[in-house]
Structure 1
Amino acid sequence: MYFWYKFFTYLFYPFAPFYLYFRKLRKKEDFIRYKEKLSKINIPRDNGFLIWFHIASVGEAMSILSLIESCLEEKKIDKILLTSITLSSGKILEKKFSQNTKVIHQFLPLDIPVLTKKFLEHWKPNLSIFIDSEIWPNLILQINEKKIPLLLINGRITKKTFNRWKLIINFAKKIFGKFDLCLASNKESENFLKILGAKNIKNHGNLKFAQAKKNLSNKLDVSLLNKIKNRKIWCAASTHPTEEVLCAKSHLKIKKNFNNVLTIIIPRHIDRAAKIDTELSNLHLKVAFYSKLDQLDESTDILIIDSYGESLKFYNISKYVFLGKSLSKTLIMNSGQNPIEPARLGCKIFHGPNVTNFIEIYEYLKTLGVTKKVNNSDELSLSLVEEFKEDKAKNDEISAKIQNYGQNIFNNVIIELKKYI
């Protein structure tokens, strides 16, 4: 199987520039830096110990901020290379670490042997770490050939992903067997990793429970806070198509009880912001954009957050959060968004019935009483009206419990990581 995978990736090589250029035109790649995916690297590799983290997307990027911050304080580490694939994750990482000379961000090259070989020969990482579920066969086998230690941290294998790998089980064992250490994020992933051929597997829990250091960038501007200080606020975060309209309908129902309600929508993909605006305007709702705060006034119904990396700011000021990808009928087999961040900040979380990607986390949070399942717009609006009437303060005790739980996971992961530094 690997022969054919490698063969077809070689065949694709001549078309790779055109593929990326086409994606650039569709605004799915960085207009200038997309060439990094062809291993066109213009940053030198300095001397010293270089640790490399590969993160796929926004969720994974946010999950390891605490880990990166710890590595920044480790004197044995001279440079930290962060690679990612998605445009949004690249923007978040670049924004977060742009002022730190110890950190370099690059987009990971396509999994074509010529490109991955060039990437590894340039950066020569002393330790390579893949986060979550990013598996690139050519790259992994080349890392192994160069005898670079390879770790999988916060490894997550969904049932859907597992079933795909199971169809090519011998190929899977060839790939997963190359990891020196696999830290599973949950029991299900631990079991799947064993079947897929991973060897040194440990399960300390989900690293997403660990908290990055607080910083001022997670605070909203005072002028915005003054504009919304008299509003009843709730967030609809990581929303997908159809969910924004559903939340807007909930807003209309809530408004019958609280005419000062402000719904903050944080779409998973901000390139949909204009379309969302059109859909909500058709419901006769007044919409404002975060990028144009002069539009925001007391009559605004919906504030759309049209830039990445802003969620924490709004979780800080909101007691109630609806998490998307849970009521979309087209995403049932790949559903749910990570509820840890709003839970850690003391928010009450509402979600639909479809949370297949985060079942264990939701089950844990349910025992703390911080989550509630809703099946439709009516149930969401009724629940929020009830919460607004009670107007309880955020539960600091539960927040502390979640943070302590996350700190224990983080400490155990750091102990494992230091064995390879």
Structure 2
Amino acid sequence: MLFIYRILINLILFLSPIIFILRILKKKEHPLRFSEKLCFFSKKRTKGKLIWFHGASVGEILSVIPLIEKLEKNKKIKQVLITSNTLSSSKIISNLKLKKTIHQFFPIDTNYHTNKFLKYWNPAVAIFIDSEIWPNTIINIKKKNIPLVLLNARITKKSFRRWKKFINIAKTLFQKFDTCISSNLESKKYLYFFGAKKIKFFGNLKFSQTEMNENSLSKDFKKTISKKKIWCASSTHESEEILCANVHKKLKNKYKNLLTVIIPRHVHRTEKITNQIKELNLKVHTHEPKKKIQPNTDIYLVNSYGNTKSFFKICKTVFLGGSMIKHGGQNPLEAVRFGCNILHGPNYWNFYEIYNLLNKYEVSFKVKNFKQLSDKVDLMLKKKNNSKNINLKIKKLGNRILNSTLKEINFFINKK
């Protein structure tokens, strides 16, 4: 199986000029830095101990920023290298105020390129985030006796079934890691199945994640809504927008200044959603920075990406979609870090452990139908804002997970 993989990865290398050109045209690749993936490095390696983190994209990288901030204070560490695969993640890193940390794109996973990469950067510890498993890189790291960590490891049921089809290669790769720090108990169970040597579980590192500053809302908008009762339905799927619009319709007689913000998971559905809501005789306002919101607006429909966090800052009751339908729910951590109370439907298997923990902390609440959702929104609108209390709970949990993780990583840093 590894032989077939190596043939395929070399075929990708052969086609890489065409792939890079197409990706540059689609603005998915950096026109000047794409060559980093072929090991033409744009940054210099500082003398001394270097720690290497690799994550696929934005989510994985952001989850380790608090850890990197702590590692930068360690005088033994002279440089931190972050690699990723996507253009968006490189932009995020460039906005961070990290003194010792640099970014490069992850090399194509051929034997030649991984060896060239490891020879140049010579990391004291290699840390792969989430579910990043690259066979040639992993094998060559261990050939050089570099400590290898799988951090915030995540194996879903779907990926477990996929790995199980290639059980021998899966066991070979997972057993290469010196330690696997699991993000949840399900992943821990799967890691045991694949024979991982040392498995730790402290909790999901994303609880300690630092939020980037984001504010796409105008002062006029904030002023207009400051006097309103406001709640938000985010990452909604088909049928969930109408459900939330009906909740608004039921509650608007009780709260004359009620505003419901709906952020669909897929914004291309905006026109259809608008028409459906208008059939309920509700006033819809689509999100445009220069378009003034009218006082009689019922539903504020967000029709573009990149605004969610701004709304989480002002909406302290959030219904997360994909949970009233059989989709498996959406990740609640982003909203929780902004001090939001979370409402979700009965279908949340993609984030089962996170939701159960948040339910235990009385931060998230399950609702099964329209009545339960409208009753819970009503209750939340009456309640005093408890976002500071939520922030304290999550911060305390995040710090515990972060400190336990740091202790484990420091073991390898001090050992090398």
- Taking structure 1 as the reference length, the TM-score comes to 0.83
Are residue 336 (structure 1) and residue 329 (structure 2) matched?
A: yes
Opposite residue 195 of structure 1, the aligned amino acid is F
Offset of residue 226 of structure 1: 2.0
Name the residue aligned to 1:351.
Answer: 344
Distance 1:76 1:19, change over 3 A: same
Aligned equivalents of 1:30 and 1:84: distance in 2?
Answer: 13
Name the residue aligned to 1:18.
Answer: 18
RMSD value over aligned CA atoms?
Answer: 3.1
Name the residue aligned to 1:247.
Answer: 241
Which of 99-108 and 20-29 deviates more? 20-29
Offset of residue 220 of structure 1: 6.7
Name the residue aligned to 2:227.
Answer: 230
Offset of residue 322 of structure 1: 2.2
Distance 1:175 1:404, change over 3 A: same
Aligned equivalents of 1:32 and 1:249: distance in 2?
Answer: 47
| Counterpart contact for 1:56–1:84, Cα < 8 Å | yes
Q: Aligned to 1:78, what secondary structure does the other structure show? A: strand
Offset of residue 197 of structure 1: 2.0
Aligned equivalents of 2:60 and 2:75: distance in 1?
Answer: 25
Aligned equivalents of 1:266 and 1:29: distance in 2?
Answer: 28
Are residue 370 (structure 1) and residue 363 (structure 2) matched?
A: yes
Name the residue aligned to 2:271.
Answer: 278
Bigger Rg, which one: 2
Name the residue aligned to 1:140.
Answer: 138
Distance 1:169 1:317, change over 3 A: same
Opposite residue 204 of structure 1, the aligned amino acid is F
Distance 1:313 1:19, change over 3 A: same
Name the residue aligned to 1:55.
Answer: 55
Are residue 2 (structure 1) and residue 2 (structure 2) matched?
A: yes
Name the residue aligned to 1:412.
Answer: 404
Question: What aligned pairs does 1:22-421 form with structure 2 within 5 A after superposition?
Answer: 22-30=22-30, 33-95=33-95, 97=96, 99-212=97-210, 222-237=219-234, 239=235, 242-243=237-238, 246-247=240-241, 250-251=244-245, 253-255=247-249, 257=252, 258=255, 260-266=257-263, 273=267, 275-283=268-276, 284=278, 286-289=284-287, 292-298=288-294, 301-304=299-302, 306=304, 308=306, 311-327=308-324, 329=326, 332=327, 335-374=328-367, 380-381=373-374, 383-388=376-381, 390-394=382-386, 396-421=388-413
Task: Write out per-residue CA displacement over residues 113-146 of structure 1, whole angstroms, 9 at most, x where no aligned residue.
Answer: 3443343333332221111111111221122222
| Counterpart contact for 2:33–2:42, Cα < 8 Å | no
Distance 1:90 1:246, change over 3 A: farther
| Counterpart contact for 2:51–2:125, Cα < 8 Å | yes
Aligned equivalents of 1:294 and 1:252: distance in 2?
Answer: 28
* Structure 2: runs of 5+ lacking an equivalent: none
Distance 1:228 1:32, change over 3 A: farther
Distance 1:367 1:227, change over 3 A: same
Distance 1:24 1:322, change over 3 A: farther
Aligned equivalents of 2:60 and 2:371: distance in 1?
Answer: 33
Aligned equivalents of 1:106 and 1:29: distance in 2?
Answer: 13
| Counterpart contact for 1:349–1:371, Cα < 8 Å | yes
Aligned equivalents of 2:374 and 2:31: distance in 1?
Answer: 41
Offset of residue 199 of structure 1: 0.4
Q: How many residues align?
A: 403
Offset of residue 203 of structure 1: 1.3
Q: Aligned to 1:420, what secondary structure does the other structure show? A: helix
Aligned equivalents of 2:348 and 2:85: distance in 1?
Answer: 24
Aligned equivalents of 1:412 and 1:349: distance in 2?
Answer: 27
Distance 1:109 1:231, change over 3 A: farther
Offset of residue 219 of structure 1: 10
Task: Write out per-residue CA displacement over residues 246-274 of structure 1, whole angstroms, 9 at most, x where no aligned residue.
Answer: 32652364045156444445566xxx54x
Aligned equivalents of 2:186 and 2:108: distance in 1?
Answer: 29
Offset of residue 183 of structure 1: 0.9
Opposite residue 393 of structure 1, the aligned amino acid is N
Opposite residue 203 of structure 2, the aligned amino acid is G
Distance 1:228 1:367, change over 3 A: same
Opposite residue 158 of structure 1, the aligned amino acid is T
Offset of residue 344 of structure 1: 4.1
- Taking structure 2 as the reference length, the TM-score comes to 0.84
| Counterpart contact for 2:217–2:289, Cα < 8 Å | no
Offset of residue 315 of structure 1: 2.4
